[in-house]
Amino acid sequence: MNHTPQEQLVTGAIASGMLGCGMRLPDSTCLSYSFNELYPREYLERILHQLAGIMNLLAGHGLAPHRLVWTFEQGQIFLITRSDGALLALATQPHTEAAENVDQLAEEFFSLASGS
């Protein structure tokens, strides 16, 4: 079965401490993959939609972030935004390989837009 580059990024994000990965495309469709049964896919997709709403909320406050990091006691949710409206969300455990890899995944996410 052939996967799109977006699907490959989402499903290939596995690393120690990665809980889940999701991408919201400009047309509002979502791709997501759970690496931990406590973080089911449907919840990751709800998070993605919620985070998209938060981006609008922040814009209303004059803030246009390129990245948000929600830090909780036992994990972090990273949201990376792209100029075409696509969003990449990563749920990781803190101080893990997954948290360290966020920048690299962000670069891959950006390169998908530029087609390189």
- By CB under 8 A, is residue 50 in contact with other proteins? yes
Q: Which stretch binds other proteins (CB under 8 A): 4-12, 25-33, 81-89?
A: 81-89
Q: Determine phi and psi for 12, rounding to 5 degrees.
A: -90, 10
CA distances for 57 relative to 50, 60, 62, 70, 87, angstroms: 11, 5, 9, 15, 15
Q: How far is the CB of 17 from other proteins (least distance, A)?
A: 12
Q: Which stretch binds other proteins (CB under 8 A): 3-11, 21-29, 57-65?
A: 57-65
Instruction: Pick one of 9, 13, 21, 47: the residue that binds other proteins (CB under 8 A).
Output: 47
- Taking the C-alpha atoms of residue 116 and residue 61, their distance in angstroms, rounded to an integer, is 34
Nearer to other proteins, 2 or 89 (CB): 89
First to last CA, the chain: 22
* H/E segment holding residue 31: strand 30-34
Q: Which two tokens stand for residue 63?
A: 């803030």
**What does the binding site for other proteins look like in residue numbers (CB under 8 A)?**
19-20, 36-39, 43-44, 46-47, 50, 54, 57-58, 61, 63-77, 80-83, 91, 95, 103, 106-107, 110, 113
